[in-house]
Structure 1
Amino acid sequence: MADDGSTAAHGRPWADLPRELAEHMRPHLDEVADDMIEEIRTRVREYDRPGDGAYSGTLRLAVERVLHYFVDRVADPGHESGQVTDFFRAIGRGEAGEGRSLDAMQTAMRVGAMVAWRRLSAAAVRLGVSSRTLGAVGEAMMLFQDELAAAAAEGYAQARAAVAGEMQRRRKRLVDLLFADPPATLEAIADLAAAAHWPVPRTVAAVALGGRGADARQPAFPPDILVDLERRTPSLIIPDPDGPGRAKLIDRALSGCLAVVGPTVPVTEAARSFHWARKTLGLVERGVIEADGVVRSVDHMSTLILFQDEELITSLARMRLAPLAHLRASQQDRLAETLLAWLQSGRNANEVAMRLHVHPQTVRYRLRQLEELFGDQLLDPDLRFDLEIVLRARALLSEGSRGPVIPAAKEAVGDAAEVVTFRR
């Protein structure tokens, strides 16, 4: 046969069936239905519910509708299939609503078709139906079965999509509730969590995702992780983040994303974890904190404290680094680097030389310059502490910035506020 389109498109195989065959079938439909139901119950465990009258009634209704439609189609190839396919779409939606798969229903359809074919074959022999006609009947049955299976699958997919969409909406509302300010009560969280099918954990950690995490393909997160990628800062909530194996699971789930995991907190304090995750993410995006895989806020607490109030640290820098204000930018950089190394190494010139990979004599020359610039300030422990704070912040910003952190120095010391500002 030439490949000129599907048989269904040309009315085949239904058009090849003798119309009178339908009249021979009609008187036996009740018997065929009984045989089909018995065989389905015997071979498909899910359909063996003798005490469930409603379910038995639905099964019989489905079988009878299928048989009557098939015979009507034999009698009239143009007979509309809308009602029976709508019925099977509804069955598919019902199976999804009950949380079952379509496996049992599809098995039942195959068993029913086998019984019907067995009865039709026997009747065809008695009626002297030709082998060509019998083949057309078999083909029509297979096409019909495929049509009903497709309708059921469509209804099933629609219902699953609707359920998934509603569940996702509930989970997003739960994320909003967990990040609320002031924090929600544990009772309110538990109520919404139950509706979202999310077991309430004792502890959580929030995750803030950067631009790369939001723009890249959506990772496949485990079902117990709450996800909202539509927030201004795409975010996750991870239950029991410190449990056995959870750290590795988190790293795998966030592989390829720019992701910051906030500190572990009680579930009612998820907003606090998210606050610190976002703060850390901001420093990562500025280059202050290096992103090497998944970043965890708890590994950078001192940096977070240092940058908690940048205006305050800038004001402190204006005061403590004022002696450097009249120097050229390159001189500022060398002396600031030397002073920080000196403070960090217990004021040991030889160790400073090793840290900076310069000759000890060079270090001693720079230290004499610093003594001249800062004078007795370097003898005061509190001032040395202030200097180390601002110099650490300066070093972090120097590593993260694309250009000079401190602009070229002005001649007047009074312009130090402009010279030593840390903000880019």
Structure 2
Amino acid sequence: MATKERTGIAVKGLNGRKARSHDTSDQRLWRSAPANVARLLRPGLAQVANQVIDEITARIPEYARPADKLYVKALRLAVDEALRQFVDRIENPGARWEPDVFRTIGRGEANEGRNLEPLQTAMRLGARVAWRRLTEQSEQLGLTPQHLYDLGEAIFVYLDQLADAAAEGFEEARARAAGEIERRRRRLTDLLLSQPPASPEAIADLAKAVGWRLPRTVAGVALEERPGGHRPPSLPPDVLSRLDRPGPCLIVPDPNGPGQAQTLENGLRGWKAAIGPAVPLAAAATSLRWAREALGLQRRGVLTEERGLLRCSDHMATLIVFKDEELVSALTEVRLAPLAHLRPSQQDRLAETLLAWLRHGRGAGEVAARLHVHPQTVRYRLRQLEELYGDQLSDPDIRFELEIVLRARQSAGSPAG
């Protein structure tokens, strides 16, 4: 049962006391009235209902809909049912409480996009009218002051029960609506990641249904799978997620927008994650594929990221190099063949020197500074490399291929050949 504490509805405010169940003590309140009171009240219920409806529609703008016949009919049904059950309880204190109509009212309030405050006000107004009618007719009904006191308290108890039933329906409707929206958000995520891509019209329709503004660009985020119970990411509502399947992932709209980078860093704290490059909406699956490849390379130690969130845009060259490792391996055998006959330690030193020379210029001083060795050591190694490679080091295409295989070797920490 949805409690008043969970819904944030101060039902206690209806009467200044805590709601209580329909127990023996409550039955005593109904039993205190003379047995014929219910029979005397029934003929006038329609008139009381009219007074209640007039009061509600005059004082509560949300219920003032004279042109909406369906709504007027629903209001009439609710008031008639509330009065009928109240009188039935006077006649038969042990009568079964039937909350379905009031649960339906609560669901209607949720579906209308309102909170329960207007309904609470309507209940208070209805109780006031009913109490006034009882006091005006007390002599005709044979009610003593004690009878009136007990019936007044019974009205308050009854209001609490109505409020509880409405709150249950309200929460049921909100939970159902939230579940439906979440289901559609998951479906939208699947559409964006489908291959081949879904039609723009289908994506636009579903995005509109969940209130997701279509962005110019998106990025896929791959997450490391975590055991159950791990704190879920704390991210803005415009970030779509599929955390419920193997290979959990996110889709981030406008990833290069103001503040977006810091928001992601904060929201994914404690998670191992990689974000793909920003791409057009139709290429969301491609961005996620790159992110997953980056996450795989991070697991292998090829890529590292001190800040937490691994960004493909910072490692594009490495991702390209490792896109086809068999091809890189074949190129490595060809281009590093001149080093193959050397001891592993010699291969490492010469490979490190050659990569620094290719990346940072051909001056021995600059290479030495990068490697933190003496310039004379660098000159000695460079002479060895010239002897091993000869004219190959003058060919720009070969130098480019050498840099590729040496970068791959450095990232993977593998032997030279």
**TM-score interval (norm. to shorter):** 0.7 to 0.9
> Following TM superposition, by how much is the alpha carbon of 1:321 offset from its aligned partner in structure 2, in angstroms?
2.0
2:376 aligned with 1:361, yes or no? yes
| Contact 1:262/1:276, CA 8 A, preserved across alignment | yes
Residue 60 of structure 1 is matched in structure 2 by: 76
2:104 to 85, 90, 101: 90
2:343 equivalent to 1:335 = no
Aligned partner of residue 25 in structure 2, secondary structure: coil
Residues 139-160 of structure 1, C-alpha deviation per residue, up to 9 Å, x if partnerless?
Answer: 3222222222222222222222
Give the SS at the match of 1:308: helix
Query: How much has 1:138 moved relative to structure 2?
Result: 3.4
Q: Deviations over 1:117-174 (max 9, x none)?
A: 344355558855244x544333322222222222222222222222332333333222
In 1, distance between residues paired with 2:129 and 2:299?
Answer: 67
What is the alpha-carbon distance in structure 2 between the residues aligned to residue 259 and residue 95 of structure 1?
A: 41
Which amino acid in structure 2 is aligned with residue 177 of structure 1?
L
Please list, as runs of the form range in 1=range in 2, the aligned pairs for 1:196-207 lying within 5 A after superposition.
196-207=210-221
**The one of 52, 59, 65 aligned to 1:43:** 59
SS of 1:237's equivalent in the other structure is strand
Question: Does 1:15 find its partner at 2:28?
Answer: yes
Q: Which of 139, 143, 148 matches 2:153?
A: 139
Change (3 A) 1:101 1:220: farther
Please give the per-residue CA displacement for 1:33-54, whole angstroms capped at 9, x wherever unaligned. Answer: 2332222122211011122222
**Alignment partner of 2:123 out of 109, 132, 149:** 109
User: Cα offset for 1:312?
Assistant: 0.9
Q: How does 1:231-310 map to 2 (within 5 A)?
A: 231-291=245-305, 292-310=307-325
Change (3 A) 1:118 1:254: farther
Does the 8 Å contact 1:213/1:259 carry over to 2?
A: no
Q: Is contact 2:218–2:252 with CA below 8 Å preserved after alignment?
A: yes
Using the alignment, how far apart are the partners of 2:106 and 2:302 within structure 1?
55
Find the residue that maps to 1:307 and give its secondary structure. helix
Could you tell me how far apart the structure 2 residues matched to 1:192 and 1:10 are? 49
SS of 1:93's equivalent in the other structure is helix
User: How far off is 1:65 after superposition?
Assistant: 0.9
Which stretches of structure 1, 4 residues or more, deviate above 6 A after TM superposition? Answer: none
Say whether the 8 Å CA contact 1:214–1:229 is kept in structure 2.
no
Instruction: Give the alignment partner of residue 404 of structure 2, picking from 364, 368, 389.
Output: 389
Q: After superposition, give the CA deviation of every residue in 1:24-81 in whole Å (9 maximum; x if it has no partner).
A: 5444433432332222122211011122222222212211211121121122221001
Specify the code of the residue in structure 2 equivalent to 1:138. G
With over 3 angstroms needed to count, the CA separation of the structure-2 counterparts of 1:326 and 1:143, relative to structure 1, is farther
2:378 maps to a residue whose letter is V
Distance 1:90 1:289 in 2: 56
Deviation at 1:86, TM superposition (A): 0.6
CA contact (8 A) 2:38 2:90 kept: yes
8 Å contact 1:14–1:74 — kept in the other structure?
no
**Residue pair 1:213, 1:256 contacting (<8 A) in 2 also:** no
Q: Cα distance 1:305–1:113, how it changes in 2: closer, same or farther (>3 A)?
A: same
Q: Would the aligned equivalents of 1:340 and 1:388 in 2 still touch at CA under 8 Å?
A: yes
CA RMSD of aligned residues (A): 2.9
Report Cα offsets for 1:351-388 as digits up to 9, x if no partner.
22222222333333433444444444434433222222
- With over 3 angstroms needed to count, the CA separation of the structure-2 counterparts of 1:359 and 1:244, relative to structure 1, is closer
Matched residue count:
394
Secondary structure at the counterpart of residue 163 of structure 1: helix
Percent sequence identity is: 55
Return the offset for 1:309: 1.0
Is the Cα–Cα contact under 8 Å of residues 224 and 239 in structure 1 kept in the other structure?
Answer: yes
5+ residue gaps, structure 2, are: 1-18
CA contact (8 A) 1:208 1:277 kept: yes
Shift of the alpha carbon at 1:186?
A: 2.0
Deviates more, 1:334-343 or 1:195-204: 195-204
Say if 1:216 and 1:257, in contact at 8 Å, map to a contact too: no
Cα distance, 1:311 vs structure 2: 0.9
1:221-258 superposed Cα distances (whole Å, 9 cap, x missing partner) = 33333222234322222333344444444444444433
CA contact 1:213–1:258 (8 Å) conserved in 2? no
Amino acid at match of 1:92: G
Partners in 2 of 1:154 and 1:173 — Cα distance? 28
SS in structure 1 opposite 2:221? strand
Partners of 1:217 and 1:52 lie apart in 2 by 47
Query: Could you say what secondary structure the match of 1:207 adopts?
Result: strand
Pair 1:134–1:331, CA change in 2 (3 A): farther
Q: How many angstroms apart in 1 are the aligned matches of 2:160 and 2:342?
A: 84
Q: Distance in 1 between matches of 2:247 and 2:312?
A: 16
| Alignment pair present for 1:81 and 2:94 | no
1:169-189 Cα deviation digits (max 9, x unpaired): 333222222222222332333
Partner of 2:8: none
Structure 2 SS opposite 1:309 = helix
What is the rounded CA distance, in whole Å, between the counterparts of 1:203 and 1:70 in structure 2?
A: 59
State the match for 1:415 in structure 2: none
Q: 1:237 to 1:352 in 2, by over 3 A?
A: same
